[in-house]
Copies of this chain bind each other. A is one copy, B any other.
Amino acid sequence: MKEKRNNRVSSFDVARLAGVSQSAVSRCYTPGASISEKSRAKVLKAAKELNYSPNIIARSLVQKTTRIIGVVMNRYASPFYSRVLGEFTRKIQEKGHNILLMNIHNEQGVDDILSTALQYQVDGLVITSATLSSTVVESCLQTQTPVVLFNRYSMHNEVSAVYCDGSDGGRKAAELLLPRHRRFACIKGEEGSSTSRDRSQGFIQAIEENGIRDYLCERGDFTYDSGYAAAERLLDRKDRPDAIFCVSDLMALGTMDAARHKFNLKIPEDLSVIGFDDIDMASWSSYDLTTLRQPLITMVDAAISQLFRSIENLDEGTLVRKLKTDLITRTSTRHSP
């Protein structure tokens, strides 16, 4: 026991059984290689008999390419990021690559995580979490590992990024709400989150430009529960808002539930709510939430194609793509038809 599995069959075993050289069997699994039909048949037959398939780790060592893409995420229990992950895996697998999934639990260990990804010699890196420390950026640069940030952008401009214009989205939300409402509120995410910051700033700036100064702000952490709790604080006041912009759909759904079931408010008659992301639940008929849709598919496509362009052609530069949200108006807000 604990004896390393030495029973794996290698290309030598196959070669011996097939009566050819070991390089012949290697060539059998190398698309462009020149090998006669006769040899190929013998090899394939022997391979099947022994249940052989090439060791990709060994191949990677010599080819200096693993066909592995590291995907770094956190919070992907959220519906939005779980769809993002789904799209990434689908696209990456389509391209014949595989995914090393790395989960960040505390912003703490980001550097460690990234560094083990690099140790696995990933061909590329998708990062939907954390801002890169300069150490990591340097390592990627040095090893020439292509990186693309997803819904993050970097202070250092040596790294590619695809993200959504949160500020513009927040502004659109404000513009929809401004006409028919009097008291505005915003439920943000964690202090450090750049997406939360952008979205809320866009919203606040727009309402301030319209002369409104006494809006309210609360903070959640992007989850349903935190949205519910933040809404409770907001709606408990005598000067309760009649329009709430949440920087994530999940918080918006929590807000709607708090409003309806704890405060007996009617939506949108008593309160308009607007979210951000357009997750599946936003269109469920219990909610029918007005929201800012992130063009998820387009974003993933852009990220993937940028990444693979870098992988295939190392002289490519970096590229930052900033996409716009679509305002999806549903019945959770009062607005002109």
- Which A residues are closer than 8 A to B by beta carbons? 1-8, 51, 53-58, 60-61, 63-66, 68, 71, 76-77, 79, 82-83, 85-86, 89-90, 93, 98-103, 105, 115-116, 118-121, 138-139, 142-144, 224, 253, 256-258, 260-262, 280-281, 284-287, 312-315
Contacts and interface: CB of A to CB of B under 8 A. Distances in A.
Contact of A76 (B63, B86, B253, B312): B86
A56 B7 contact: no
21 contacts: A2-B312, A4-B64, A6-B64, A7-B143, A8-B143, A53-B119, A56-B116, A57-B120, A57-B121, A58-B61, A76-B86, A79-B82, A86-B103, A89-B102, A90-B103, A93-B102, A98-B100, A98-B116, A99-B102, A224-B280, A257-B286
A116 B98 CA distance: 9
Contacts of A256: 286
Chain B CB count within 10 A is highest, among A54, A55, A63, for A55
Given A79-B79, A98-B116, A103-B93, A144 B5 contact: yes
A129 to B, nearest CB: 13
Given A57-B57, A102-B98, A284 B313 contact: no
A79 B118 CA distance: 30
Contacts of A83: 77
A119 B64 contact: no
A105 to B, nearest CB: 6
Contact of A89 (B54, B103, B261): B103
A5 B57 CA distance: 17
Chain B CB count within 10 A is highest, among A60, A85, A101, A224, for A101
Nearest to A98: B100
Closest 10 CB pairs of A and B: A82-B82, A89-B103, A101-B101, A1-B315, A261-B285, A4-B64, A5-B144, A257-B285, A56-B119, A286-B286
Nearest to A225: B280
Nearest to A65: B4
A77 B144 CA distance: 32
A58 B286 CA distance: 54
Chain B CB count within 10 A is highest, among A7, A79, A313, for A79
Contacts of A224: 280, 284
Contacts of A79: 77, 79, 82
